[in-house]
Amino acid sequence: MELPPEMPIYTVYESKSRALAPKIASLTILSTIFYLGVLLNVSLLELSAGQETALKTGSLILLLLLVLLGTGLAVRKVSQPYLFYRNRVTKGKETIFYIDINNTAVHLDPLDRFFKTYSINLGKNFFLRHIPQQIQLSDYLQQLVGYSRGTGF
């Protein structure tokens, strides 16, 4: 007899604007630089007008597809919530048990201040990123860690 899947006790989503804006900006800037490099290289080659246009158009289409793919992957990753269970936190396939959490301190960088978000490095390369400031997770995490270690609060 199979047991029903465990339901999370708490669910938190990342701020989509905070996670996507820097990703889209960096993809756009890198694509522009790459396309300018393609334009320079094509202009140095002795190609017919048709070949030159085909190369420029092909590289532009390829770059647009790569930007769309990168953005789609970022949207998919941001759409996965942090799930808090009785003994662990998960996001996608990543998991950290409360017993393994070393840190619950909030970290702010300049973009976090602008987007009103924060991050927490829980240890073992597991981060809670782009959490809206309206959601106060630090105290909640400290309580969960305390209960899992048997110390409670």
Is residue 42 within 8 A of residue 52, CB to CB? The reply is yes
Q: In this structure, what are the phi and psi dihedrals at residue 5, rounded to the nearest 5 degrees?
A: -65, 145
At CB < 8 A and 24+ separation, what contacts does 109-113 make?
111/18, 111/22, 112/18
The residue assigned the tokens 């978000």 is 117
- pLDDT tens digit sequence for 90-138: 998 999 999 999 888 999 999 999 999 999 999 888 999 999 999 988 8
Give the pLDDT confidence of 13-37 residue by residue, as tens digits.
Answer: 999 999 999 999 999 999 999 999 9
Domain ranges for the chain, please list them.
16-78, 80-148
